[in-house]
Amino acid sequence: MDITKLAGQNLPQIKRRDFVKASGLTALAATSGLSIPFTTQAKDVQSTQSEEKIVWSACTVNCGSRCPLRMHVKDNQIIYVETDNTGTETYNLDHQVRACLRGRSMRRRVYNPDRLKYPMKRIGKRGEGKFKRISWDQALTEIAQSLQKNIAEYGNESIYLNYGTGTLGGTVTKSWPPGSTLIARLMNCIGGYLNHYGDYSTAQIAVGLDYTYGGGWVLGNGLADIENTKLVVLFGNNPSETRMSGGGLTYCIEQAREKSKAKMIIIDPRYTDTGAGREDEWIPIRPGTDAALVSALAYVLITENMVDQPFLDKYCVGYDEKTLPKSAASNSHYKAYILGQSDDGIAKTPDWAAKITGIPADRIVKLAREIGQTKPAYIAQGWGPQRRSNGEIISRAIAMLPILTGNVGISGGNTGARESAYGVPFVRMPTLTNPIEASIPMFLWTDAIIRGTEMTATTDGIRGVEKLSAPIKVIWNYASNCLINQHSQINRTHDILQDESKCELIITIDNHMTSTAKYSDILLPDCMTSEQMDFCLDAYVANMNYVIFADQVVKPSFECRNLYDMLSALAEKLGVKQQFTEGRTQEEWLRHLYQQSRENLPELPTFAEFRQQGIFKKVDPNGFKIAYKDFREDPEQNPLQTPSGKIEIYSERLAEIAQTWKLAKDEVIHPLPIHVDSFEHYGDPLMEKYPLQLSGFHYKARTHSTYGNVDVLKSANPQEIWINPIDAQSRGVKNGDLIRIFNDRGEIHINAKVTPRIIPGVVALGEGAWYAPDNNRVDHSGCINVLTTQRPSPLAKGNPQHSNLVQIAKI
């Protein structure tokens, strides 16, 4: 690989030292744990170039972190990017929030040849990528007219705000949830819009775990609490890749373990970067079978007397006959299920689970003893295990381990959910009220285009109304690549969008010519974060959180306009400018929000001081987060928000749904967190045709698709399909070979990474590569959504994007 060539080709003005820093060499150094002396290089820059300024900006993408970027600018050009230089290395206090290699390559997104430069209108077919340049006035006039026409004909329920998280960390620019965006604010001025609920991240766990613990989103102990634990068990949780910032969780987990010396066991089909030699044990598991593993662990815990019986009696419903709800049949409790005394008559022994999970029985026994005998234990799941066709029930099953062992509500323990983080109480942009009550599961928007008015509460999980009154006619895609790249089953979406009489207008507001942009009717070129002023917040960190002053670093490129300005101009055309702007500019709004925030947080400096210092950090005044501590201390006074007020191992609400909802034969909803098969999983009859499980993951090369067009990141972290040597050998595939991956939904051609870091029978592909189809619809980038399905999971109606069956062959 010639990195010099790659790095130079798009950016001829690039400087040598900049190249070294943003190059793949540094990326490799970062992944191998080497540190690069950035500050020394910065000094070098300053001493030779006197008029250079440093301006604070931020990376606001949806990776769970948010990072400050200190941009070196000269002559309105970003020449160099650094990160936080304030604070110390003291974890959980004011430690430095260091950007990852993606953020540090921000310059390459700003000056990327894919930048959208002018408003454009589609002239070819959707997806062809043929556009003509139009004026801002024409673009906004056409949008205003189309909105008015569709509202008159179909009502505001036909206007949809698509999922999009490209600027999740922004304040004025925040892109999700829809109700927090400026698009919503504008639509609310003209009668509202069709909302969505749930997200691609956590659709199944958000619904599933709520039945166990209640109260909506289920909390976990903060990761910092790992310093009080003896054992860390992570199910499909990979913070070293999914929370990469130095301000984020990967740093916390290491620092906390440094203190507690807790043992760490990782359960994942892949040997992840979170392991990378730092784990004590990696237990490879067949995807989608965690509930079988947990059931067998429960079997050992029960038969070897390691369950916390007083905890189960006092705090839980349905562990055994004593606490089973009256409505439940006798012997329908969890213990009976595990011991084989309920309907199926199968004891969930380690031997039983070994066949399903691929984990040897003796290893299961050992793990059970380890969990049963080490207290407290921090047991957590990432969101990989739940992004599946049986994800709801899997998320509940994993939570059974801390429940059975009484680890809930104590320091050093956890609920089985992912960690909670502290949030700074900063004031957000007000977006007015949406008069439209209807809301769809975020995953079903393609269906809402073709059969919207057939969709009801019980068939498709429609909320707010019994039934939709209109199909989707207009789509807003703001900071979203979810029209194509990030939504499942691209070829189905393609077919649906080809019929322009169905969805009549697709508006995309983005910085780059993405695959979503190519399927849009009107393209509005947005400013990048560094081309405007905003506050950046909402990172996932442990006990310390922060807000970043993202200042305007350079003037907008080409004809780009920021979201606030373009929507203000559209508001004027729609006759609602005063209501939309309240007479403020973007900067005036930020000053206004800041003033309000200072009332919540008196320690915030003045606006001018904040601008200068760039980042404001605050440590959680309440110390380490321990989820459901109050409940543990006094369950009578502090009941959970479940119907019983207790942890519901047996859920009567789920028993009722299982009776009343229409489900296909291969879909199971069950009152207990049992192991079930589901579509496109191990054991599916479809495996005869497609014998490999294709599992996705979130990749360090990108944040979803964002940064996916940065050449140096691409060359340092190539897009490859992981395949075990056993599966490769039987197909004659060698490392680096070009292979076909296919199922009935599509085909990808990409290179193989033959590695023992993946369990046999499973192949893995990082999500987010930029869809690159040829004329036969074969993708050549490794965009996994060519192969994923739009069939939703049974309970949440969520995206089962990690559950896919495929075959591969050498080309």
Ligand X SMILES: Nc1nc2c(c(=O)[nH]1)N[C@H]1C(S)=C(S)[C@@H](COP(=O)(O)OP(=O)(O)OC[C@H]3O[C@@H](n4cnc5c(=O)[nH]c(N)nc54)[C@H](O)[C@@H]3O)O[C@H]1N2
Q: Count residues contacting ligand SF4 (CB under 6 A)?
A: 13
Q: CB-wise, 105 or 642, nearer to ligand SF4?
A: 105
Side-chain half-sphere CA neighbours of 125 within 13 A: 6
Residue 699 is a binding residue for ligand X (CB under 6 A) = yes
Torsion 431-552-175-395 (CA) sign: negative
Interface with ligand SF4 includes 557 (CB under 6 A)? Answer: no
Question: Would you say 438 or 784 has its CB closer to ligand X?
Answer: 784
Helix (H) or strand (E) holding 764: strand 762-766
Helical ranges in 519-585 per DSSP H: 563-573, 577-581
| Per-residue DSSP letter, 659 | H
Distances (CA, A) of 443 to 196, 203, 322: 9, 9, 40
SS3 assignment, position 525: strand
66 binds, among Mo ion, ligand SF4, ligand X, none (CB under 5 to 8 A by kind): ligand SF4
Is 66 an interacting residue with respect to ligand SF4 (CB under 6 A)? yes
Q: Pick the binder of ligand X from 357, 695, 724, 793 (CB under 6 A).
A: 695
**CB of 114 closer than 8 Å to CB of 512:** yes
Q: Interface residues for ligand X in 49-68 (CB under 6 A)?
A: 62-64
Looking only at residues 228 through 267 of this chain, which bind ligand SF4 when binding is defined by CB under 6 A? 244-245
Residue number of the CB atom closest to ligand SF4? 103
Q: Does residue 67 touch ligand SF4 according to CB under 6 A?
A: yes
Assess 270 for contact with ligand X (CB under 6 A): yes
Residue with Cβ nearer ligand X (118 or 661):
118
- For residue 177, whether the previous peptide bond is cis, meaning omega lies within 30 degrees of 0, is yes
- One-letter amino acid identity for 773? P
Tell how far CA 466 is from the center of its chain.
29
Partner that binds at residue 115, options Mo ion, ligand X, ligand SF4, none, CB closer than 5 to 8 Å by kind: none
Cis link prior to 402 (omega < 30° from 0)?
no
- Is 205 in contact with 217 (CB distance < 8 Å)? no
Residues 702-741: x where in contact with ligand SF4 by CB under 6 A, - otherwise, as a string: -x--------------------------------------
Sort 616 into a burial class: Cβ within 10 Å, 0-12 / 13-18 / 19+: buried
Q: Which of 698, 753, 757, 791 binds ligand X (CB under 6 A)?
A: 698
Q: Are strands 522-525 and 120-122 parallel, antiparallel or unpaired?
A: antiparallel
Residues 180-209 that bind Mo ion (CB under 5 A): 201
Residue with tokens 């079978």: 289
- Is 486 a binding residue for ligand X by CB under 6 A? The answer is yes
Ramachandran region of residue 305, left (φ > 0), alpha (ψ -120 to 50) or beta?
Answer: left
Is residue 245 near ligand X by the rule CB under 6 A? no
Cα 737 from Cα 740, distance rounded (Å): 10
Contacted by 806, from Mo ion, ligand SF4, ligand X, none: CB < 5 to 8 Å by type: none
Stretch that binds ligand SF4, among 55-63, 86-94, 204-212, 791-799 (CB under 6 A): 55-63
Closer to ligand SF4 by Cβ: residue 231 or 550: 550
Structure tokens that stand for 345 in this block: 């008559």
Number of neighbours of residue 623 by Cβ within 10 angstroms: 14
* Pick from 480, 608, 441, 383: nearest CA to 168: 480
Residue 753 Cβ, how far from Mo ion at the closest point, in Å?
Answer: 24
Residue 697 in the binding site for ligand X (CB under 6 A): yes
Residue 103: name its binding partner from ligand X, ligand SF4, Mo ion, none (Cβ under 5 to 8 Å by kind). Answer: ligand SF4
The reply to whether 63 sits near ligand SF4 by the rule CB under 6 A is yes
Residue 99 interacting partner from ligand X, ligand SF4, Mo ion, none (CB closer than 5 to 8 Å by kind) = ligand SF4
Q: What totals of helices (H) and strands (E) does the chain contain, helices first?
A: 29, 27
Q: What angle do CA 537, 543, 549 make, to 5 degrees?
A: 25
Nearer to ligand X, 66 or 700 (CB): 700
Q: How many residues bind Mo ion (CB under 5 A)?
A: 1
SS3 470: coil
From ligand SF4, Mo ion, ligand X, none, interface partner of 715 (C-beta below 5 to 8 A by class): none
> Of ligand X, ligand SF4, Mo ion, none, which one sits near residue 540, judging by CB under 5 to 8 A according to partner kind?
none
| Interacting residue with ligand X among 526, 652, 720, 779 (CB under 6 A) | 526
Binding residue for ligand X, selected from 395, 703, 715, 790, defined by CB under 6 A: 703
Which residues have a Cβ under 8 Å from the Cβ of 646 and sit 6 or more positions away?
A: 315, 316, 317, 323, 635, 639, 640
Residue 103 near ligand SF4 by CB under 6 A: yes
245 binds, among ligand SF4, Mo ion, ligand X, none (CB under 5 to 8 A by kind): ligand SF4
Give the integer Cα–Cα distance in Å for 689 and 271: 27
Determine, following the binding rule CB under 6 A, whether residue 214 of this chain makes contact with ligand X.
Answer: no
* Side-chain half-sphere exposure of 664, counting CA atoms within 13 A: 12
Q: How far apart are CA 734 and CA 756, in angstroms?
A: 13
Residues 420-449 that bind ligand X (CB under 6 A): none
Single out the segment in contact with ligand X by CB under 6 A; choices: 322-330, 580-588, 774-782, 783-791: 783-791
Beta-sheet strands, E only, within 212-262: 231-235
Amino acid at 129: G
Rounded least distance, CB 444 to ligand X, Å? 14
Q: Which residue is nearest to Mo ion (CB)?
A: 201
Phi, psi of 296 (to 5 degrees): -70, -35
For ligand X (CB under 6 A), the number of binding residues is: 63
Residues contributing to the site for ligand X (CB under 6 A): 62-64, 164-167, 200-201, 235-238, 241-242, 244, 267-270, 272, 285, 287-288, 290, 382-385, 387, 478-482, 485-486, 509-512, 514, 526, 528-529, 695-700, 702-706, 767-768, 784-785, 788, 801-802
Residues contributing to the site for ligand SF4 (CB under 6 A): 59, 61, 63, 65-67, 99-100, 102-103, 244-245, 703
Residues contributing to the site for Mo ion (CB under 5 A): 201
